């Protein structure tokens, strides 16, 4: 085997993908011998306090006279202060999603623009294995341990440090029972105590930060801008009201709706080349320039009505690789008991399920959230009773007996949610996807089907965390220039049927397109083709 050669699949000889070939290569070999040093540096934003109400824009600028930034090492580090003196601060999103939008500029060119960032982050999080989320939590906000309070799924009460301290409900009180909604506890992050801070570190969301490239700062500087959410209430858990009869001593559970950011900065690695190596790259960049492909995201939103959805989107992109669809509805859910019960549980649902993190799941979620057991009480012999329940999931749902509820559930399950999409004349599925087929296509968006072992989390397929996705590649392998084009004014149509009932359905649809973009860098000029 020749030097610089390695062994590929099935034993064929292939070029060894050294650091230089992978990171700085752009067709050049043996780059590692040109690297003279790596420096860990800190780049600060403008000093001051950043809040959702006042100074929302955080700007960080990377530049150097003769160094390259290793993009995958860039971390945004900041101090998050809970400014409430009495209430804990509990985020509903990971740290990289406390911004409503972000963009990356180079030499005046917008390299990346991300909107609906909390929603995008939630989708990306649901595609990660649990092990990755736990590791991320060591840098950011730790997730609460997955734990149910009782066999029937009543909530645990967590203190300001995120420690389970007791049951939210007294199971013996007046025979009260509640629907099992474990997603609230499963997806919570540890709170920041009152008048306390937490230092967090995370990789910004965006195409370029996941790249293996080193970026020539001497030829093209980088400026990242993040716009904080317009209010803390958009991304933080809200307060909950006490239950009037079950836990009167508990009182209202107040949660902070205010925080500030201090000392935001980039921490990253800068690479220095030898004079010969730098001269070679200077000549290359000044003449032909550097070319690279990046994977970017764009999220589109529309208002919808009814359980059957026909929605069209237009966006001119050269290479669409994946489509992710999520839905939102106001998370109102009334249990089967008194108005006090309704108010208490609905306050919890609205406190922990917002547009930033709530992905409505349609029929499957309705069935999961609202078992017939909680709608019409059976008689003493366990037979379906004649006493109507309070409507189950929503106060607006007609009251029904146990038998009626069972019949309604069967009707829903016999007409499952279906999903498909078309891009221009291209049907992305021959038949609408339903049930397990939806899960299969979720897998395909993550790569080759044979490599599925670590795909997703269980919560990706339960209430409040439902994702619908399709792979648009001509060959499912992650090849370059392998997606579908909408450059010819092709319209993307999303078709979803039985996404709930006449009374319970989504009000908003979010569509995230994952696409490949081409980037060309010359001295002082950056061009994008998407």
**Interior CA angle at 213 toward 207 and 216, to 5°?**
105
pLDDT tens digits, 406-429: 777 777 778 888 899 999 888 988
CA–CA distance, 407 with 74 (Å, rounded to integer)? 55
More confident residue, 111 or 183: 111
Q: Which long-range contacts (CB under 8 A, 24 or more apart) does 172-177 make?
A: 173/245, 173/246, 174/245, 174/246, 176/245, 176/246, 176/337, 176/341, 177/152, 177/335, 177/336, 177/337, 177/374
Query: Given CA atoms 469, 186, 362, 347 in this order, what sign does their dihedral have?
Result: negative
CA–CA distance, 390 with 332 (Å, rounded to integer): 14
Beta-carbon contacts of 257 under 8 Å, excluding residues fewer than 6 positions away, are 84, 231, 232, 233, 236, 238
Q: At residue 404, does pLDDT exceed 60?
A: yes
Give the predicted TM-score (pTM) of the model: 0.83
What pLDDT, on the 0 to 100 scale, is given for residue 166? 45
Lowest mean pLDDT segment, chosen from 82-96, 205-219, 434-448:
434-448
Query: Of the given ranges (6-20, 242-256, 317-331, 387-401), which has the lowest mean pLDDT?
Result: 6-20
As given in the structure block, the two tokens for residue 366 are 């309705």
User: Region 14-18: what's the mean pLDDT?
Assistant: 31
**391 torsion bin: left (phi>0), alpha (psi -120 to 50), beta (else):** left
Quick: pLDDT tens for 228-282.
Answer: 999 999 999 888 776 555 444 444 678 899 999 999 999 999 999 888 888 888 8
The pLDDT of residue 191 is 85
**pLDDT greater than 50 at residue 454:** no
* Residue indicated by tokens 């937490």: 198
Cα 168 from Cα 425, distance rounded (Å): 53
pLDDT recorded at residue 61: 96
Q: Domains of the chain by range and CATH?
A: 22-37+44-116+193-274 (2.70.9), 294-518 (2.70.9)
Give the pLDDT band (50/70/90) at residue 438. Answer: confident
Which pLDDT value is given to residue 324? 93
457/483: higher pLDDT? 483
The mean pLDDT of the chain is 76
C-alpha distances out from residue 492 to 319, 418, 486, 488, Å: 13, 17, 8, 12
Q: Above 80 in pLDDT, residue 303?
A: yes
Percent residues over pLDDT 90 in the chain = 29
Q: Cβ atoms within 10 A of the Cβ of 157, count? A: 15
What pLDDT, on the 0 to 100 scale, is given for residue 222?
A: 95
User: If you average pLDDT over residues 114-125, what whole number do you get?
Assistant: 91
At 351-378, the pLDDT tens digits run 888 999 888 888 777 776 655 544 556 6
- pLDDT for residue 345 is more than 60: yes
464-505 pLDDT tens trace: 678 898 888 887 776 778 788 888 888 999 999 988 888 788
Confidence of residue 73 (pLDDT cuts 50, 70, 90): very high
Most confident of the following: 139-143, 261-265, 402-406? 261-265
Q: Where are the beta strands (DSSP E) in 207-286?
A: 214-216, 222-228, 259-273
Average pLDDT over every residue of 105-119: 93
How far from 373 is each of 259, 358, 452, CA to CA, in Å? 42, 25, 36
What digits encode the pLDDT tens for the residues 374-396? 455 666 666 666 666 555 555 44
Taking the alpha carbons at both ends of the chain, their separation in whole angstroms is 40
Contact 267, 201 (CB under 8 A): yes
Cβ count near 347 (within 10 Å): 18
pLDDT for residue 113: 93
Question: Which range is least confidently modeled, 97-106, 158-167, 312-321, 408-417?
Answer: 158-167
Which two structure tokens, joined as six digits, stand for 277? 């190596």
Which of 488, 482, 465 is closest to 516 using CA atoms? 482
Stronger pLDDT, 444 or 46, i.e. the higher one: 46
Instruction: Give CA 213 to chain center in angstroms.
Output: 24
Give the chain's length.
Answer: 530
Residue 176: pLDDT band (50, 70, 90) is very low
**40 pLDDT more than 90:** yes
């Amino acid at each position: 085997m020749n030097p610089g050669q390695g062994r590929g699949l099935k034993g064929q000889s292939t070029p060894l993908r050294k650091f230089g070939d992978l990171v700085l290569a752009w067709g050049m070999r043996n780059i590692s011998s040109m690297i003279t040093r790596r420096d860990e540096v800190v780049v600060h934003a403008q000093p001051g306090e950043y809040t959702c109400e006042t100074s929302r824009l955080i700007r960080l600028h990377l530049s150097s006279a003769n160094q390259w930034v290793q993009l995958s090492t860039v971390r945004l580090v900041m101090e998050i202060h809970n400014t409430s003196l009495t209430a804990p601060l509990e985020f509903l999103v990971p740290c990289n999603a406390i911004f409503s939008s972000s963009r990356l500029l180079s030499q005046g060119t917008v390299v990346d623009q991300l909107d609906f960032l909390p929603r995008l982050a939630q989708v990306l999080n649901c595609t990660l294995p649990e092990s990755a989320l736990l590791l991320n939590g060591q840098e950011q906000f730790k997730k609460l341990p997955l734990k149910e309070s009782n066999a029937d799924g009543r909530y645990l009460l967590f203190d300001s440090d995120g420690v389970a301290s007791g049951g939210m409900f007294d199971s013996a009180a007046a025979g009260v029972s509640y629907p099992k909604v474990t997603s609230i506890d499963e997806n919570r992050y540890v709170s920041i105590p009152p008048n306390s801070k937490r230092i967090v570190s995370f990789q910004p969301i965006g195409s370029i930060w996941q790249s293996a490239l080193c970026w020539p700062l001497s030829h093209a500087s980088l400026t990242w801008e993040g716009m904080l959410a317009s209010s803390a209430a958009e991304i933080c858990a809200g307060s909950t009201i006490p239950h009037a009869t079950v836990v009167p001593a508990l009182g209202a559970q107040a949660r902070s709706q205010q925080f500030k950011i201090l000392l935001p900065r980039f921490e990253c690695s800068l690479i220095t080349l030898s004079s010969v190596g730098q001269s070679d790259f200077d000549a290359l960049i000044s003449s032909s320039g550097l070319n690279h492909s990046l994977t970017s995201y764009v999220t589109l939103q529309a208002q919808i009505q009814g359980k059957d959805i026909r929605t069209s989107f237009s966006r001119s992109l050269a290479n669409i690789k994946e489509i992710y669809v999520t839905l939102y509805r106001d998370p109102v859910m009334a249990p089967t008991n008194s108005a006090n019960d309704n108010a208490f549980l609905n306050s919890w649902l609205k406190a922990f399920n917002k547009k930033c993190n709530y992905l409505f799941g349609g029929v499957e979620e309705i069935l999961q959230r609202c078992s017939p057991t909680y709608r019409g009480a059976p008689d003493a012999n366990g037979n379906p009773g004649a006493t109507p329940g309070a409507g189950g999931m929503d106060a607006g749902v007609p009251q029904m007996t146990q038998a009626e509820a069972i019949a309604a559930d069967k009707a829903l399950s016999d007409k499952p949610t279906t999903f498909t999409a078309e891009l221009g004349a291209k049907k992305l599925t021959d038949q609408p996807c339903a049930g397990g087929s939806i899960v299969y296509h979720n897998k395909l968006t993550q790569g080759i089907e044979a490599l599925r072992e670590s795909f997703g989390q269980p919560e990706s397929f339960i209430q409040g965390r439902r994702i619908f996705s399709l792979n648009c590649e001509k060959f499912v392998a992650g090849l370059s220039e392998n997606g579908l084009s909408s450059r010819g004014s092709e319209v993307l149509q999303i078709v979803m049927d039985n996404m709930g009932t006449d009374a319970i359905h989504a009000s908003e649809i979010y569509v995230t397109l994952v696409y490949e973009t081409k980037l060309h860098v010359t001295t002082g000029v950056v061009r994008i083709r998407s």
